[in-house]
Amino acid sequence: MSRRDLRIAIIGAGPGGLCMGKRLLDEGFDDFVILERANEVGGTWARNRYPGCECDVPSALYSFSFEFKVDWSKPYGTQPEILAYMNSIADKYRLRPHTRLGSGVTSARWSDTTSTWTLVMDSGDTVEADVVVSAIGMFNELCWPDIDGLDTFAGAMWHSAQWNWDRDLTGDRVAVIGSAASAVQLVPEVVKVAERVHLFQRTANWVSPKVDQPFTPEEIDAFRADPAPLLVFRAQVERSMNAGMTFSDPKVLAEREAQVFAAIDVVHDPAVRRELRPTHPFGCKRPLFSNVYYPAFNEPNLELVTDPIVRINPRGVVTTDGNERAVDTIVIATGFATTKYLSAIEVVGQHGRRIDDAWTDGPLAYLGITTSGFPNLFMLYGPNTNNGSILTMIEAQVDHIIAHLRWMSSDSIAWIDVKPRTMARYNDEVQEAMDRIRVWHAGCHGYYRSPSGRIVTQWPMSMSEYQRRTRTLDLDAFAVGPRSTP
């Protein structure tokens, strides 16, 4: 039987979409398009451009195995470096001819008659495909706080993921609402130029110190000449990350908490130190990393505000104690609606079923890649795959999808769909593993949970275990459609 040609549409030109495109070309699948809403590739690294933005995974592990980067400026790569790396992937592996920038997908609809997907763009244009790969991941829809009067503020206001570089914050009075990942990175930078910064913190986070001394030019030249030591370090980082992903070693957890408490001790004001100390166990929420966050609180122009916000008025921010802080600029640092995944766009599968209806209890997918009732639809960075280095997880997912495509192509299969029972059994196993990670059930209100209370973002085992599970393709786990006519 002759090989079936497949038309493939990839949604998103971030790390997942670029990796998928590269591997498709490796395997001889060249009839594909990468549809990207933005006007450049890079995904979250093109979108997040706030001051101080950088990776919280050691750079040695934050590059693809097929394109190991050796010349990072420091152990934790910065946003401009990572974006440049993603652009180099698009150039080197000839992905730009397959990429349509400024082409946001608003809907995807499956046809039971033709066994194809029709994607509708913002422009109204359509793309028909046999296979759809979603590479939009978790960080695509901004999360805005529900604060009375937010739209009445008369000054400048923006989300940290939509940074306004046209406005100079020098001399501004700035309110930063939110104290998690983006705020931890941007606040120490804004404090350097602003007249006054008010950081509104709802919950203190664990912000760990990190080894991040910039490399010297001589060290970078040595890495370029012989990357072997960096590859050894990469393997060490991966082993260490695998061992710590399940937060199961009480001794290690205690050591990490002690490191953070020691870092907080650099803050001079005892009242501020007290407010910065987390009250939940380490790992209950996303651990953060910075060497400059806590020292920033020794600057006279940074105020930590822990009284809850009751409203925003045209002049500034009002808290429960009746205090009004007049500001010129408000930065919303409240992250993304991380639990929506592919439901961030309208997706309609078999028999007209919407993915919103299929996911009423929260996003659900077998291996985080396929969800029942939506044939020929694959996800990268899908439900319950967030942990460790996402690039490592994405490579495993891409290879798993490639195995599906080889199967469909060689057997000329019209469609495949994971069986509901398989998906349910897999999810039960994942949730049981989740239940064993005590810190994730310590009452934190982070981004891990869907409104139903189920954890839908995190992978509760090691990266190596995920790689093992995705390495094989269980054909019995899938319903198969009629074979197409050659």
CATH number of the domain where residue 289 is located = 3.50.50.60
Assess whether 191 and 282 both reside in one domain: yes
User: How would you label 135-167 residue by residue, b for 16+ Cβ within 10 Å and e otherwise?
Assistant: bbbbbbbebeeebeebeebebbbebbbebeeee
Q: How are beta strands 288-289 and 207-208 bridged, if at all? A: parallel
Q: Residue 215: inside a domain, yes or no?
A: no
Structure tokens at 113: 């008659």
Range of the domain at 179: 150-206+248-332
| Per-residue pLDDT, 450 | 85
Assess whether 328 and 343 both reside in one domain: no
Q: Residue 238: inside a domain, yes or no?
A: no
Structure tokens at 316: 């500034």
d(CA 57, CA 324): 38
How many domains, the chain? Answer: 2
Degrees to nearest 5, angle at CA 79 with 142 and 53? 60
Report the length, in residues, of the chain: 486
For residue 132, list its beta bridge partners: 9, 377
Assess whether 364 and 394 both reside in one domain: yes
Q: Which of 332, 356, 376 is at the close of a domain?
A: 332
Q: Residue 459: inside a domain, yes or no?
A: yes
Per-residue model confidence as pLDDT tens for the chain (486 residues)? 457 899 999 999 999 999 999 999 999 999 999 999 999 999 999 999 999 999 999 999 999 999 999 999 999 999 999 999 999 999 999 999 999 999 999 999 999 999 999 999 999 999 999 999 999 988 778 889 999 999 999 999 999 999 999 999 999 999 999 999 999 999 999 999 999 999 999 999 999 999 999 999 999 999 999 999 999 999 999 999 999 999 989 999 999 999 999 999 999 999 999 999 999 999 999 999 999 999 999 999 999 999 999 999 999 999 999 999 999 999 999 988 877 888 889 999 999 999 999 999 999 999 999 999 999 999 999 999 999 999 999 999 999 999 999 999 999 999 999 999 999 999 999 999 999 999 999 888 778 888 888 899 999 999 999 999 999 999 999 999 976 554
pTM confidence score:
0.95
Assess whether 161 and 279 both reside in one domain: yes
Q: Residue 486: inside a domain, yes or no?
A: no
Assess whether 81 and 190 both reside in one domain: no
Region at 305 (left for phi over 0; alpha for psi -120 to 50; beta for the rest)? beta
Assess whether 352 and 476 both reside in one domain: yes
Q: Residue 100: inside a domain, yes or no?
A: yes
d(CA 173, CA 196): 5
Structure tokens at 50: 């706030």
Q: Which of 284, 310, 332 is at the close of a domain?
A: 332
Q: Residue 443: inside a domain, yes or no?
A: yes
Q: Which helix (H) or strand (E) holds 305?
A: strand 302-305
CB neighbours (10 Å) of residue 406?
15
* DSSP 8-class letter at 4: P
Assess whether 424 and 358 both reside in one domain: yes
Cβ-contact 229, 70 below 8 angstroms: no
Structure tokens at 335: 């992250």
Assess whether 93 and 46 both reside in one domain: yes
Assess whether 347 and 298 both reside in one domain: no
Would you say the C-alpha torsion 373, 379, 383, 384 has a positive or negative sign? positive
CB neighbours (10 Å) of residue 384?
26
Q: Residue 88: inside a domain, yes or no?
A: yes
Q: Residue 212: inside a domain, yes or no?
A: no
Assess whether 328 and 341 both reside in one domain: no
Assess whether 195 and 306 both reside in one domain: yes
Q: Which of 292, 309, 332 is at the close of a domain?
A: 332
| Per-residue pLDDT, 431 | 94
Assess whether 317 and 419 both reside in one domain: no
Comparing C-alpha atoms, which of 355, 461, 420 is closest to residue 108? Answer: 355
